[in-house]
Structure 1
Amino acid sequence: MSMNGEYLRLTPAELKRALADAEWALELAEEAQDEQDEDDGGEGRWFSTGQTWNLLAFLLRRAEFPVDLVFGEETLTEEEWGYGKPRYLTPERVRLAADALGRTSYDRLVHGLDPAELTEAEVYPLIWDEPAALDWARDDFGSLVAYVRGAAADGDALVLWID
């Protein structure tokens, strides 16, 4: 079984409801995931970075990205969804992330990175001895950028969790 980075777009009113009723939000996330094609290019309500979440987290931390775009920043509920508590980004933080992504390319994120650093940091999954390993998350990063920009354009919040 693998660990996957998961995202759910919520309007501000839906975020308010989710904070009051996290079970409702989990049901909404599960419905959105069931209804949506995973390969939609990041344009739906639900999005997944698949197993690239830990690499993306490492790269964004390394680049001192201003928003925690993999784990979120505020706890939605004390109940665990998958591998921990879901967290969220307010619409304002989503806009900040979208703006920062406009100045961040995948090539910039991996520039100068030695794959051995990923192995040493135990970045999941441990595949960093492969020649093209650093390119593995390129497409997921591009889709994440599109997803976050879409959420920001619509004024949405994001709920994030590892499942």
Structure 2
Amino acid sequence: MSMIQNFLRVNLETLNSFLADSSVLSDMVYSKETIHLDNLIDIDKAWEGIFFLLTGESIGTYDQASPPLSWILVGPNDIDRNQDMGYGPATYTNIEQTRQISLALQDISMEELSQRFDAATMLEKDIYPDIWDDENALDYLLQYFEDLKAFYQMAYMQNEAVILFLN
């Protein structure tokens, strides 16, 4: 079974509804209508690879990465610590934290991210998934990085919070 990182842009009212009743979040993202949500993206299995390129850390050491980029893997705030969205609870960044992430991502070019790619180190550190010696691995990460960058830019422009969860 694979682990997929998901990101959901929400306004403050929707965020507050999830904080009041976390089942509203799971009902929303696991409903048949989910495929029609334009504010929900996933970055497939690229999440830890992207995180590693951005911070130099893995999921096991994510807490050693510096904000705001550390918040791309695990948000600093919990929706409901007891809710399991597939691989643990959903976390979120508030509107200001989302803005900080967006601005930090805008400063990182594809060339800079490409220069940080080191397949041997990623394999050695057991960065998920174990594909880094594949000739298309970097392109895979860069594609999802661009999607993530655009997603956070949209969240920033629309004054939204972002909910993160692995499933």
Q: How would you bin the TM-score normalised by the shorter chain?
A: 0.7 to 0.9
How many residue pairs end up in the alignment? 156
RMSD, aligned α-carbons: 1.7
After superposition, residues 38-53 of structure 1 pair within 5 angstroms as 44-53=38-47
Is the helix fraction higher in 1 or 2? 2
* Deviation for aligned residue 1:113: 3.4
> Shift of residue 60 of structure 1?
1.7
CA contact (8 A) 1:65 1:100 kept: no
- Give SS of 1:26's match: helix
Summarize deviations over 1:62-119 as a string: whole Å, max 9, x none.
Answer: 2956231122221111211011111000010111111111111232123143211100
State how 1:1-163 maps to structure 2 within 5 Å. 1-31=1-31, 33-36=34-37, 44-62=38-56, 66-67=68-69, 68-78=71-81, 79-163=83-167
For the Cα contact (< 8 Å) 2:53–2:117, is it kept in 1? Answer: no
With structure 1 as the length reference, what TM-score do the two structures score? 0.87
Identity of paired residues, percent?
A: 28
Q: Is the 8 A contact 2:53 2:116 kept in 1?
A: no
Separation in structure 1 between the aligned mates of residue 34 and residue 124 of structure 2, nearest angstrom: 33
Unaligned runs of 5+ in 2: 57-64
Note the residue ranges of structure 1 that are not aligned, 5 or more in a row.
37-43
Give distance in 1, aligned partners of 2:147 and 2:135. Answer: 23
Instruction: Output the TM-score relative to the length of structure 2.
Output: 0.86
Structure 1 moving runs of 4+ over 4 Å: none
CA distance in structure 2 between the partners assigned to 1:12 and 1:74 by the alignment: 14
In 2, distance between residues paired with 1:128 and 1:99? 28
2-side partners of 1:11 and 1:157: how far apart? 6
In structure 1, distance between residues paired with 2:34 and 2:105: 24
